[in-house]
Chain A
Amino acid sequence: MVHGEAWTLKEFFVYPNEYIYWTIQIVMYPFMTGLVAGAFVLSSLYHVFGVKALKGIARFSLVFSFALLPVAMLPLMLHLQQPQRGIEVMMTPHFTSAIAAFGIVFSTYGMIVASELWFVYRKHFVETVEEIRRVPAGDRSPLTQLRYYFFSALTLGAQDIGHEALEADERAVKKLAAAGIPVACFLHGYAGFIFGSVKANALWMTPLMPVIFICSAVVSGVALCMLTYILTMEIRKVLARRKAQQYPELPSHHELKSAEAHVVTMTAKYLLMFMVAAITLELLDLIFRGYTAVKSWDILRSVIYERDFVNIFVIQYGLGNLLPFVLFLIPGLTVRRAAIGSMLVLLGVFMMRWNVVIGGQAFSSSLSGFMHYRLPIWPGTFEEAKEGLFGAVVVAVIPFCIFYVLNKVMPVFKETH
């Protein structure tokens, strides 16, 4: 079977070779890079601009951004017809293509985040090494010995944790975080450019695309960090209640609760700001298309206002933008309301990606026919598993697994046991 045939339904006149070639994995790709970029920007707000209120979430979102990073690449690999050749993007990059920069931007960004993490956690690495060193070599279990080697390697031989050295670390963190913001924005903005520069696609082609992508990226990244933060804090609260007698030095249930409420309120403010920017740009794009009404507007109109009406106006704008907007704006923001709000925001941003990627292929470039995407739910073939619900769920779950592992190496909440 031809690639794409399994999930494409054609209506009226569609060129014979046209199918929905970019499927849910390409929806996941900007969604995941958006989360990466957004999480990083959130952490940088503290490190660079010294927004003290975000201290609690800064380290958390930095590690989370790193956990999301490999997953930003995964959907691309899953969608390639020849994934084993993906490395060629680094080997023979053709820079007139928006995709060619991916390898370089992605690795630059990865290196910046990794270095920043190294500076943030170097003290922890050294402390761990020293702790193990206190145990005589003979008494160490093989696992401890392995841990010893691993953490020694992580220190890169820099084991000085004197006051001066740590201050140098802090300065480096600040510089890297500052350098990371433009790179994070570039990483994601250019994901928007990949779409915005396709002149053959009437829905995608707009110079606003990269900016829209960056704004919604920050929105989704902040929302996800907030949501994950709330979830982890809830777990910690439960643990704190249980361990209150055993370890009285741990932060108490009430302390955690007030810290959580404070962080959530502050983060919500930034979320709202970026949301306003994102929605403004999206509406501007829509109004501009309707007003200028070039050749492609006829078919775009029937896609936007008829075929994808529910996806765009009900789910994306209504449920994903308007409702959380109201939820966050009602005074006296509670943690539960913030959690629901961020979930809706994530849904809204996901639907925005969906409506761009799938919506952009909902009409033929003949402008005389339509294509419907039928998401493969049950993976009947390998292709349907890769580019269906199954593949998307895998991509969505993996960052949390990575985060779990990373948290073992780089504890996000250091003050706990």
Chain B
Amino acid sequence: MISRRSFCKKSLLIAGGLAIPFSSLELFDPRRLEAEKNDGKKVRWVFLVDTNKCVGCGFCVKACKTENEVPYDANVTRTWVERYVVTKDGKTHIDSPKGARDGFETTAIDIGEGKFEEIRNEDIDKAFFVPKLCNQCDNPPCVQVCPVGATYQTEDGVVLVDRKWCIGCGYCVMGCPYGVRFFHPVYHVAEKCNFCYHRISKGMKTACVDACAFGARRIGNIKDPDDPVTKIIMTERVNVLKEEYGTKPQVFYLGLTKEVR
């Protein structure tokens, strides 16, 4: 039998116990949540590429190689431009001769081993250029697989390579689904685009952004709601490359279509 006295006692206890979890509701302070979403950091660099504007001049590639001291004649590059020509027979022809360092000097498509495929203008359904660079992923697989901690992500989201610590195993090169990494021909360590870290940290724009006369490339800070790049990403229909790998890439594209690899 439950006495009235013990019943009251227990009810009070239960009510009191229930009150404890409710007190946690106080945590849901909107201002505090907003602050947590931004996790206190002020900068997260992102990139915006407008493929509609790119004309394939390759000035970005030229500037990048000079600015970042990647040997000009070496067949590797931190950024490159791809040409897509979709013909009426449904085929997609893609090339990027020398990463488009010299732009596209012929109408023929480079199909490797010194061979070219000529395409007649009247066969073209659509044709466009797509600049590529490191996506500075939020979940960078290249960083995850580095066995020695020689590549890492900075607080502002840029993935860097420590040239004094890299052992040159190539696992990061293999781990990148976008093929942006390579071995530096002089330093013999992993090399990649780092959004011109020396420039953006001085308040400048990247060399490729400055070299682009068409506004196809833009860099911005996604943590800053007034940044024009942030505004576009937030309000327009942007896309990213190879989302299925779960890498959360931070280079956003306008005008991406299914043919783009």
Contact = CB atoms under 8 A, between A and B. Distances in A.
Interface of A: 1-5, 9-19, 21-22, 76, 79-83, 85-86, 88-89, 91-94, 96-100, 102, 194, 197-201, 295, 364-369
15 contacts: A12-B111, A76-B169, A80-B169, A81-B168, A81-B169, A81-B183, A85-B168, A92-B165, A93-B148, A97-B147, A99-B147, A198-B145, A198-B175, A199-B246, A365-B178
B171 A99 contact: yes
Given A16-B80, A16-B98, A82-B166, A93 B113 contact: no
A172 to B, nearest CB: 33
A13 B96 contact: yes
B141 A200 contact: yes
Interface string B110-153: 01110000000000000000001000000001001111111000
A17 B150 CA distance: 20
Interface residues of B, number: 49
Interface string B169-192: 111011111111111010011000
B107 interface: no
Given A16-B99, A98-B145, A81 B188 contact: yes
Given A16-B80, A89-B167, A199 B177 contact: yes
Contacts of A100: 147-148
Contact of B261 (A9, A98, A366): A366
Nearest to A202: B177
B222 interface: no
B165 A17 contact: no
B96 A11 contact: no
Contact of B145 (A1, A9, A76, A99): A99
A76 to B, nearest CB: 8
A17 B177 contact: no
Contacts of A19: 182
A200 B177 contact: yes
B63 interface: no
A369 to B, nearest CB: 7
- For the residues of B in contact with A, the DSSP-based class is loop
A201 B176 CA distance: 9
B112 A21 contact: no
Contact of B173 (A21, A94, A367): A21
B148 to A, nearest CB: 4
Nearest to A361: B174
Nearest to A100: B147
A246 to B, nearest CB: 55
Contacts of A2: 74-76, 182-183, 185
Nearest to A15: B179
A21 B170 contact: yes
B121 to A, nearest CB: 21
A368 B181 CA distance: 18
Contacts of B76: 2, 16-17
B212 to A, nearest CB: 18
Contacts of B188: 3, 81-82
Between B96, B167, B178, the greatest number of chain A beta carbons within 10 A of the residue's beta carbon is seen for B167
A397 to B, nearest CB: 24
Interface string B237-261: 0000000111000000000000001
Contacts of B99: 16
A17 B182 contact: yes
Contacts of B179: 15-18, 364-366
A81 B189 contact: yes
Nearest to B192: A17
Nearest to B94: A13
Contacts of B144: 96-97
A5 B75 contact: yes
B50 interface: no
B259 to A, nearest CB: 9
B81 to A, nearest CB: 10
A94 B147 CA distance: 5
B165 A88 contact: yes
B92 interface: yes
B77 interface: yes
Nearest to A200: B177
A366 B94 contact: yes
A89 B148 contact: yes
A91 B177 contact: no
B149 A92 contact: yes
Given A82-B188, A97-B145, A366-B94, A4 B80 contact: no
Given A2-B74, A80-B168, A82-B189, A92 B148 contact: yes
A22 B76 CA distance: 17
Contacts of A80: 167-169
B216 to A, nearest CB: 18
Nearest to B171: A99
B75 A16 contact: yes
B167 A88 contact: yes
Given A2-B182, A15-B80, A81-B170, 12 more contacts: A1-B74, A9-B113, A16-B80, A17-B179, A18-B179, A21-B170, A81-B167, A97-B146, A97-B147, A100-B148, A366-B94, A366-B261
Interface in B42-96: 74-77, 80, 82, 92, 94-96
A93 B147 CA distance: 6
Contacts of A1: 74, 185
Nearest to A367: B261
A374 to B, nearest CB: 11
